[in-house]
Amino acid sequence: MTRAVYLDCNATVPVRPEAAAAIARALEAGGNPSSVHAVGRAARATVENARAAVADLIAAPPQTVVFTSGGTEANALAVESAVAVGARRLIVSAIEHDSVLEAAKASGAAVEVLPVTSDGVADLGWLAERLFRWDAADGKPFVALMLANNETGVIQPVKAASEIVRAADGWLHVDAIQAAGKMVIDSRGIGVDTLTVSAHKIGGPQGAGALTFGPRATLSRRLHGGGQERGRRAGTENVPGIAGFGAAAKLANTRELAPQAAWRDAVAAKLKAQGCVIMGEGAERLPQTLCFATPGYASELQVMALDLAGVMVSAGSACSSGKVKASHVLSAMGQGELASCALRVSGGWNTSEADWNRFFEAWSEAHSRHAARRAPAAAGVA
Q: Which residues are catalytic?
A: 319
As a whole number of angstroms, the distance between CA 250 and CA 148 comes to 21
Which amino acid belongs to residue 42?
A
Closest CA to 298 of 268, 345, 338: 338
- φ, ψ (nearest 5 deg) of residue 35: -80, 150
As a whole number of angstroms, the distance between CA 241 and CA 334 comes to 39
In the chain, % helix, strand, coil (3-state, to 5) comes to 45, 15, 40
HSE of 89 in the Cβ direction (CA atoms, 13 Å)?
Answer: 14
CA dihedral 178, 182, 184, 185 (to 10 degrees): 10
- What is the chain's length? 382
Tell me the Ramachandran region of residue 158: left when phi exceeds 0, alpha when psi lies from -120 to 50, beta otherwise.
alpha
As a whole number of angstroms, the distance between CA 45 and CA 39 comes to 10
**378 CB burial (10 A radius; 0-12, 13-18, 19+):** exposed
As a whole number of angstroms, the distance between CA 184 and CA 218 comes to 26
As a whole number of angstroms, the distance between CA 92 and CA 112 comes to 6
DSSP letter string, 288-306: TEEEEE-TT--HHHHHHHH
